[in-house]
Amino acid sequence: MDRTQIWGRRLLSSAFVALAALGFRSVAAGEGGGLLVGLNGSSTTGCLVGEFTVGYVVDYVTDLDGYGVTGAELTGMGAECEGRTVQVSFTADDGALLAKASALISTPRTAVVLAEPAAIDASQVAGVSVAVVG
């Protein structure tokens, strides 16, 4: 490997580390301190979703010959949401769906791992959305 390739890989690695750092986002649901999510419209079985953090999980992926997003990590979900299902969707800058995955919420940290595809090119990820679906 010549110096240009080594320099290029280092530059690319630094860029993806920056992407991973920017991938941590703080999300607030509603302006009144949170969003009550209930089953079948019932607020008594709901969970209060206030401010929480979403971080991308970025790893080197051999099949992509570079860095890819392999999942997300959610922190700050309320204890009353534990055991519910959360769905995370990753989108491109044009809004196209790149991948989605779901997991059971566990506090204080929920790991959501992509299944198919197992990883998406980190440079294509522009956004993430999170929904408590059950």
Domain count, the chain: 1
Tens digits of per-residue pLDDT, 34-87? Answer: 333 434 444 445 676 678 899 999 999 999 999 999 999 999 888 889 999 999
Decide if pLDDT at 24 tops 70.
Answer: no
In this model, does residue 30 exceed pLDDT 90? no
From the list 14, 1, 121, the residue with the least C-alpha distance to 65 is: 121
Per-residue pLDDT reduced to its tens digit, 81-129: 999 999 999 999 999 999 999 999 998 899 999 988 999 999 999 999 9
Would the pTM count as exceeding 0.75? no
The region, left, alpha or beta by phi > 0 then psi within -120 to 50, assigned to residue 73 is: beta
Measured CA to CA in angstroms, residue 7 lies from 10, 15, 23, 78, 129 at distances of 5, 12, 24, 44, 34
Q: Domain range holding 111? A: 3-132
